[in-house]
Amino acid sequence: MHQERIQAVLANLEKQGCHQAVVSDPTSIFYLTGYYTEPYERFLALYVSPKECVLFANRLFPDATPFCPEVVVHDDTEDPLPALIEHIDHTSALGLDKIFPARWVLPLIDAKAAPSFILASKAVDDARSIKSAEEQELMREASRVNDKAMEWLKSQIKEGVTEQSIAEGLLGTYRSLGAQDHSFAPIVSFGANAADPHHEPDGTVLKRGDMVLYDVGCRKDAYCSDMTRTFFTAEPTEEEKRVYETVRHANEAAEALVKPGVTFAEIDLCARHIIEDAGYGPYFTHRLGHQIGLNDHEPGDVSATHDEAVRPGQCFSIEPGIYIPGRIGVRIEDLVIVTEDGCEVLNSYPKGIQVVDL
């Protein structure tokens, strides 16, 4: 049990006028206790309050007692809710996280387990947003692996190869480098496909002159990495150079702006204005970035509508892009960790124009 993380969640709950919550997200339960299992349709929940923390788990799950001081176990023939209701303070609001299924929420409401219910995900999300020194080092290591994997990806740029074959080969490379899995399904895009920001790798065959966009990430020791680089297979045209250098300028300017007190919106707008000033505003079609940690996408995006100031320990992506349908697609993405007076860029893979000779 990570007591300092539990206390951070309880302090956040207090700000919402609540002192108890049920956490059902398996990743958040892992964050708070060190225990992870995938429950599928079965009941898994962590009840947190200043008085106690109790984990409710199915008998089929791995033993949770080494991770949590109190574990209540049920089997498939038992209703798990009565045991949970026994621990709830019936005189106070109860916080629930955003993934707690309606099939459990509605019976709690019917049983009048609490006088009111609130959405308490922000209490956990805000705690997870600030990475400890240990978490930051795990994020660095995952990004080091991703940098090395990008070298392998560059080496796969050969005439006749398909997007799908490269995507399918990446997992073996990650594992050879010490990672355990992808942090998300890899994006491999050739030619006009690079203008689709979330293109799914298919049987498209690489040919000379195509641009190649890789957006990839691994999961190492539970923590995620995420990086995008764009390559050329022939000397880029003047327009392609202009698009690429505009994206790189937007990426580097936004990273240079990151420091405590600057808002997520200001960081997004810094990159966005550079792209707009270059005449490509309509072709930058997504937010600038997202927070990352135990999940590849965590709450608290880097967008023009997020007016909160960044804080030391937060980790997020900076990934501007320009996507001209049918012709050009460029994205450059790094991860940054906010420091006391700026930020640390986790990715060291070069960002200058690279032409791979087929």
Write the pLDDT tens digit of every residue in 205-230.
999 999 999 999 999 999 999 999 99
Mean pLDDT of 278-283: 98
Q: How far apart are CA 86 and CA 77, in angstroms?
A: 19
What mean pLDDT, rounded, does the chain reach?
97
Q: How far apart are CA 254 and CA 267, in angstroms?
A: 5
Confidence of residue 105 (pLDDT cuts 50, 70, 90): very high
Q: How far apart are CA 234 and CA 211, in angstroms?
A: 8
Q: How far apart are CA 305 and CA 292, in angstroms?
A: 18
- 286: amino acid identity, one letter: H
- 27: amino acid identity, one letter: T
Mean pLDDT of 307-321: 98
Confidence of residue 357 (pLDDT cuts 50, 70, 90): very high
pLDDT at position 46 = 98
DSSP β-ladder status, 227-232 and 211-216: antiparallel
What the block records as the tokens of 308 is 């909160």
What the block records as the tokens of 358 is 């087929």
pLDDT at position 90 = 96
All domains of the chain in start order, with CATH: 3-128 (3.40.350.10), 130-345 (3.90.230.10)
For residue 11, how many other CB atoms are within 10 A of its CB?
Answer: 12
Mean pLDDT of 170-176: 98
How many CA atoms are closer than 13 Å to the CA of 182, on its beta-carbon side?
Answer: 12
Strands in 169-314 per DSSP E: 181-182, 187-190, 211-216, 218-220, 223-224, 227-232, 289-291, 298-302
User: pLDDT digits over 15-40, tens only?
Assistant: 999 999 999 999 999 999 999 999 99
